[in-house]
Amino acid sequence: MKNIHLTPEPRTDLVQAMLKKPLEAKMFIGGEWCEAAGGQWLTTVDPATGQEIGRFPEAASEDVDRAVVAAAEAQPRWAETPPAERARILWRIAELMEAHIDELSELESLDQGKPLYVARWAEVLGAIAQFRFFAGQATAIEGKTIRPSITYQPEGKRVEAWTYREPVGVVAAIVPWNSPLVLTAMKLAPALAAGCAVCLKPAEDTSLSALRLAQLMQEAGLPDGVLNVVTGLGPKAGALLAAHHGIDKVAFTGSTETGRAIVESSKGNLKRVSLELGGKSPVILLEDADLTLAIKGAANAIFFNAGQVCVAGSRAYVHRSIYDRVLEGLATEANSLTLGHGLNPVTQMGPLVSVKQAERVSGFIERARQGGATVVAGGERLGPIGTFIQPTIIADVKPDMEIVREEVFGPVLVVQRFEDLDEVVAAANDSKYGLAASVWTESLSAAHRLSRRIKAGTIWINTHSMYDASLPIGGIKQSGYGRDSGIEALDNYLETKTVCAVL
């Protein structure tokens, strides 16, 4: 377990070159590639080793203003572009991503740390699917005709009414570092399909793939200014966008704390906000669960992407009759995972994205240990700069402990036992979060009942973290509001205009 496979084996020219000399990337504003007005740069490192792999501009407020102006100028023309033409460009973006899939996957793996296969299947293919799905939606946006009951129209006339669905305008998309490409695509694709222009602020730890995507989007024929990528720090560039009066809507994915800050900043012009925030998702194993599936599934629900997933299944609730077997099985799964550099072919789990994140996660583990919990597997911080956290299983916890209540965002699972369905429903719902949950059972009746009773935006049955561009995803309670993905995601980027006419 302590042997970490640190040697990257990239195959694309881009990533091979980055390992020799850091990439110098520019921001994308109004169709031009530019440096920051203040001449400031940020650097990004390989999270497995700490080696610098790239630098990119740190946007100042002039840059944010320029991006907003460029988007505002481009948006009306984009909204007037025939929907079929918008669809054609979105589809072309998907095709170009597919043509560059090796490069995009390696770039994401190097910058974020995730294993190459995760970058390829979950991120790049997931992002492509978003562009394809919303290419289809661009031509399907429609209003309604309504027959009102108004009786006071002039004699001989009648009242007719109908609605238009119009783009909300200029959108700020602020995205996190855990799954940069797919989460970016979840905002860009519906926003562009709806006729909005976007100022994208990628996360400071993982800005490179967004910049590469912007190059491909330019090549696909997206008009200048319709997409602008402003790189920089969250509390600076991100906060400026969230507060900007030229922004009509913020689409955010990230932590609940930052989501709250964004809502605060948005007050000035009452811009629309949609938020996909944190979670502490329960994974419930009933006594009749198919354990060969359920144990592996529960392990995957937390260890996939090293637990840096908003819907990660971080609280397992196991029926007392199978508890010992499941706990032992989960520990075996945890101990069997191969840790390494995302670009090493044997790697099953990579490092966390940054030293800061690894420190945060190991702090949670330490405090759980000090509070009396048992670390059944893992628990250690490893690697040349300490960014690897062993897959960790924690038992003997109490419901009010921090490790049970707070989002860790790392490969750390707490396992608890339960006696009956009422008890597990109450425990699962005893959380400020409500993003997702999974139920593992062979009983159709229990699966249906629990999927009604558990308070979460998504319920998976006999699976976890299963995404598709057609499936809405988002939270209730402090996991946020609004839905990404699926037809419903268009609602984030459209306003309804009502026309009422006496004819």
Contact residues for ligand ADP, defined by CB under 6 A: 174-176, 201, 203-204, 234-235, 238-239, 242, 254-255, 258, 261-262
Question: Which is closer to ligand ADP, CB of 254 or CB of 391?
Answer: 254
Joined together, the tokens standing for residue 198 give 């976007």
The single residue of 103, 276, 333, 407 carrying the catalytic annotation is 276
Q: Closest distance between ligand ADP and the C-beta of residue 252, in Å?
A: 7
* Helix H or strand E encompassing 191: helix 180-194
* C-beta separation of 30 from 46 below 8 A: no
How far apart are alpha carbons 39 and 28 in whole angstroms? 15
Terminal-residue alpha carbon distance, the chain = 77
Q: Which amino acid is at 239?
A: A
Q: Closest distance between ligand ADP and the C-beta of residue 176, in Å?
A: 4
Joined together, the tokens standing for residue 51 give 């080696």
Buried b (16+ CB within 10 A) or exposed e, 127-164: bbbbbbbbbebbeebeeeeeeeeeeeeeeeeebeeebe
Annotation marks residue 310 as catalytic = yes
Q: Closest distance between ligand ADP and the C-beta of residue 378, in Å?
A: 21
* Helix H or strand E encompassing 259: helix 256-265
Q: Closest distance between ligand ADP and the C-beta of residue 329, in Å?
A: 31
Question: Which is closer to ligand ADP, CB of 278 or CB of 282?
Answer: 278
The distance from CA 357 to its chain's CA centroid, rounded to whole angstroms, is 17
* C-beta separation of 228 from 198 below 8 A: yes
How far apart are alpha carbons 54 and 33 in whole angstroms? 16
The single residue of 310, 333, 419, 500 carrying the catalytic annotation is 310
Annotation marks residue 196 as catalytic = no
Q: Closest distance between ligand ADP and the C-beta of residue 223, in Å?
A: 25
Q: Which residues pair with 274 in a beta bridge?
A: 251
Question: Which is closer to ligand ADP, CB of 211 or CB of 284?
Answer: 211
Q: Which residues pair with 166 in a beta bridge?
A: 495
Q: Which residue is nearest to ligand ADP, using beta carbons?
A: 234
Q: Closest distance between ligand ADP and the C-beta of residue 202, in Å?
A: 6
How far apart are alpha carbons 251 and 188 in whole angstroms? 10
Q: Closest distance between ligand ADP and the C-beta of residue 262, in Å?
A: 5
How far apart are alpha carbons 420 and 418 in whole angstroms? 6
Largest CA distance in the chain: 86
Q: Which of 205, 179, 119 is nearest to 312 (CA)?
A: 179
**C-alpha angle with apex 401: 399 to 407, nearest 5 degrees?**
100
| 3-class DSSP assignment, residue 251 | strand
Among all residues, which ones are annotated catalytic? 276, 310
